[in-house]
Structure 1
Amino acid sequence: MSIVCPITNTNNHFPLHIPLDDRTQTTGVILCEHIKALDLNSRTYQVVEELPKDILDKVIDVVYSEIEQIEE
């Protein structure tokens, strides 16, 4: 099972949106409030690129913060 967040090119500067920068081929913002769990063993998928570690760390922080708020 993999946890993923969608990416969009519509940036409305929402605090849960993490922008991609010029280090990635993909453009837009990561929508951390739209967490999805996918079983990649039962789907066809293609890895486009790897997220820079600092951006991944920001996404993880936002996602964990969302989960903590739900648990409270």
Structure 2
Amino acid sequence: MTFNKGDIVKVDLNPIKGHEQGNYRPVIVMNSVPLPGDLNIILPITTKQKSYPLEVELDKRTKTQGVVLCFQIRTVDLVKRGAIFIEKAPADIVDTCNDYLHRLTDDVV
């Protein structure tokens, strides 16, 4: 199965280290081009909003509720982890997440 940018999927993110988001949870796929080895760039979604900078709130247009943690960037093999497609995120939410990713990496890349 192929996942696309803006897909919200449920996946087990364990094992983790330190303060990484883990467990079985929804994530949003952020890569628009295929990556080697069937990898996907993902951002975890949590229901525990802490008003951190770089959080994007999901609204009533999605059945998935919570906030996207744009600072918790991960690259994972969603197929090998058994990810399940839930829904497509609205384009404006994906665009906001993308803007935050650009801000985070602007001085790094």
Larger strand proportion of the pair: 2
| Counterpart selection for 2:106 from 52, 65, 68 | 68
For 2:62 and 2:81, locate their aligned partners in 1 and report how far apart those are by CA, in whole Å: 24
Matched, 1:54 2:92: yes
Matched, 1:14 2:52: yes
* Percent identity over paired residues: 35
Q: Say what the alpha-carbon RMSD is for the aligned residues.
A: 1.2
For 1:14 and 1:41, locate their aligned partners in 2 and report how far apart those are by CA, in whole Å: 30
The alignment of Structure 1 onto Structure 2 pairs a total of residues equal to 71
For 1:26 and 1:41, locate their aligned partners in 2 and report how far apart those are by CA, in whole Å: 20
The two structures have a TM-score, normalised by structure 1, of 0.88
Matched, 1:30 2:30: no
Q: Gapped runs of 5+ residues in structure 1?
A: none
Q: Which protein has greater RCO, CA pairs closer than 8 Å, 6+ apart?
A: 1
Larger helix proportion of the pair: 1
